[in-house]
Structures are given as structure tokens and as C-alpha cells.
Amino acid sequence: MTEQLTIRRPDDWHLHLRDGAMLTGIAPQSAKHFGRAIIMPNLVPPVVRGDDARAYRERILAALPDGSRFEPLMTLYLTETTDADDVAQAAQSGLVKSVKLYPAGATTNSDSGVRDFDRVLGVLERMADVGLPLCVHGEVTDNQIDIFDREAVFIERVLDPMRRRVPGLKVIMEHLTTSDAVDYVRSAEDGLAATITTHHLIINRNHILAGGIRPHYYCLPVAKRDSHRLALRAAAISGDRRFFLGTDSAPHADAAKEAACGCAGIFTATNTMSCLAQVFEAENALDRLEAFTSLNGPAFYGLPANDDTITLIKQADPVSFPESIETGAGPVTVFDPGFPLYWDVA
């Protein structure tokens, strides 16, 4: 039985750090275990231009503990008025590692997102020219489409046509939630990859709705049937280079979650590596945890893997994690996987 596992330091290829007091409170949680993270740009106002990304990066670095080597990888928010030249310059300077596509109204702070995809075609073509990847929140926002079907419909209506129109564009489908999306990624020979969150490997829609509404399991895209969760697990543990970790750890103060119209987002930064080790051990796949967390992501982004390591140790007794993280913006509840965690980062 494996009791200790040393892997390259992991990266998080989809992370929300917010801003202000929330940023200060939660940034150290990701910096503990992760070497780098793709930082989501959906602030208010959003991170649209290179100068916005540069200023936000400085605020993140200021919020990190002394001596931290955590590296924020900046992302620009795609709007219908995004300047292609500004995007190209930010990419070529090394400041920006991706651009984020939010369909307008799809999730938290996405009102500035895209409604008419024809209007961003020129930016996507320029991104393909300079090798800058596009991160995609893959849901349609048509109210006539059931919320549990929006990812599959997005692939058919938006993503596949877009990839055919701009075939040189590298695309990351973020936070997969369906077997449809897993199958679509597997069907691509190159230029397409996907992130999978910690929580979507663990919860299904029953966790949100059965026995009462549990707001701390509510996220977007919403968790689906258990058959979809099992498809995500199979993809994550497969070692397939097209699938890698993006936690989508998304903090909201408890008061905003536990409300009549609660915010979407699950905060997993604190215990992600323990959760993942437990999941991979249950699937007899601990030998493939490193590929999922530490190798596949950098390879797709064209970056080297981290040169240092972390060690996970299996404890005799369950590891204790705080129920919430106290921040200047209010307490943030830490994800509860619903089972004991025995793996801890040394």
C-alpha cells in the first residue's frame, strides 16, 4: 500500500482569486501547494487590456506571503470590443498566457462577455497567429435550453463551428461536466484540451438538491448526473495529455452563498490535493496523479513543468481542515467532499 507520494509541484489551470480583501484572504491558500495558476479575469470591472492584467498581477503578488514562489499566469477577458493588437502585445511580452471567453450572462461577472461570436472572430484569428490559447466557459445562455444541457449544446452550436472557422486556435474547454464534453475532447487530434475541477470528480447534482438545497455545492457549470461524474473521473485518471487540473476554486463570502439568490462557486483551494489523492487512490491511479496535476497542463500551454516537488503522505487518522477561511470580505466555506481525507501535503 502506498503511504507516500512525491510529484512535481502541481499547477492550477483555472483559478479565481478575486480582488481586494478577498484576494488578500484567499491567495495564500493556493500559494501553499501550487506553483502557478491561470488567473480568471472576471473582476468588476473585468481584466480586458494588458495594462489591466499587469496591475492585477501586481495586486496578486502583493497579497502573497513573504518568500512565496507562486506565479500568477494572467488572462484577458474577451469582449466584443477587445483590441486584437493589445492582446497580441500582451501575449508577446509574456505577461498574458490566455484569453477567456465567457458567453454573456453564463456565470459570475460575465455580463461583459460575448453575445455575437462573429464580432470576436478577428481577435481569435490573431490569437491563433501568435499562439495564444483561448479558455472557454462552455455553456449556452439560451433560457429555452435546460441548464443541465447547456454544455452539450454549446459544443454543437458554438465551439465546434468556432474551431472549424479558426483551425489554428488552441482551445481549453474549462471545467468539463459531461461525458459529451469528454468525448468531444477525445475526438480532437490536436489543439484542444480540457480542465477538470476537483469538485466535479466528487459531487453530482444530488449533492446540491437531495434532502435540501446545499448552496456550497452549487457552481456553474452545475454538477450533472453521476454517469457524467464517472466519465470525468475516467478522463482525469487516464493519463491522457488532453486532460488536466483546473480547480475553478471560486470563493464567495458565506453571506453571498447562503442567500435567496446564492452565488455560484465552490472553494477548493485549501484541500484540493488531499481530495485528488483520495480520488486517485480509490481508482487505483495514484501513479497518474502527477500527469493530471503537474505535467499535462504545462505541456499544452508550452511551458516547462515545475522544477520542485511536493510530497503527499497518507495519515492513519483523517486530516483536519478548517470549515472556513476568514477573510476581510467575510468567511469562505471550504469544500466538504463528504468523506474523510487521509492524504496531506507534507
Instruction: Give me the DSSP letters along 127-153.
Output: HHHHT--EEE------TTS-GGGHHHH
For the chain, the structural domain boundaries read 4-345
Three-state DSSP class for residue 313:
strand
Three-state DSSP class for residue 297:
helix
How far, in Å, CA of 196 to CA of 189, rounded?
Answer: 19
Q: Annotated catalytic, 83?
A: no
Which of these, 75, 84, 296, lies nearest to 192 by C-alpha position? 296
Query: Which grid coordinates belong to 79?
Result: 469582449
Q: Are strands 134-136 and 171-173 parallel, antiparallel or unpaired?
A: parallel
Which of these, 175, 159, 176, lies nearest to 167 by C-alpha position? 159
Task: Give me the residue label for grid cell 514562489.
Answer: 69
- Whole-structure pTM value: 0.97
List pLDDT tens digits, range 149-163: 999 999 999 999 999
Q: Give the pLDDT score at 141.
A: 92
Q: Give the pLDDT score at 110.
A: 79
Query: Which grid coordinates belong to 283?
Result: 481508482
Q: Which of 11, 248, 336, 344 is catalytic?
A: 248
Range 4-345 classified under CATH 3.90.226.10: no
Query: Which grid coordinates belong to 317?
Result: 487518522
Segment 242-254 mean pLDDT: 98
DSSP secondary structure code for residue 252 in this structure:
-
Distances (CA, A) of 309 to 8, 280, 322: 4, 18, 25
**CB-neighbour burial class of residue 257 (10 A; exposed 0-12, middle 13-18, buried 19+):** buried
Q: What is the mean pLDDT of the chain?
A: 97
Q: Model confidence at 1, in pLDDT bands (50, 70, 90)?
A: low
List pLDDT tens digits, range 199-233: 999 999 999 999 999 999 999 999 999 999 999 99
How far, in Å, CA of 71 to CA of 306, rounded?
Answer: 11
Q: Give the pLDDT score at 105.
A: 81
Q: Is the dihedral of CA 177, 333, 135, 102 positive or negative?
A: positive
List pLDDT tens digits, range 256-267: 999 999 999 999
Which of these, 221, 63, 254, 80, lies nearest to 148 by C-alpha position? 221
Q: Within 10 A of 330 (CB to CB), how many other CB atoms are there? A: 18
Residues 6+ apart with CB under 8 A from 2: 281, 286, 314
Q: Within 10 A of 218 (CB to CB), how many other CB atoms are there? A: 18
- Backbone torsions φ then ψ of 313, nearest 5 degrees: -120, 135
How far, in Å, CA of 286 to CA of 240, rounded?
Answer: 14
Query: Which grid coordinates belong to 108?
Result: 459570475
- Backbone torsions φ then ψ of 88, nearest 5 degrees: -65, -40
Q: Give the pLDDT score at 90.
A: 98
Distances (CA, A) of 178 to 140, 184, 207: 14, 10, 16
Q: Model confidence at 104, in pLDDT bands (50, 70, 90)?
A: confident
Strand positions, DSSP E, the chain: 4-8, 12-15, 36-39, 71-77, 96-101, 134-136, 171-173, 192-196, 243-245, 309-314, 324-325, 332-333, 343-345
Please, are residues 310 and 7 in contact by the beta-carbon 8 Å criterion? yes
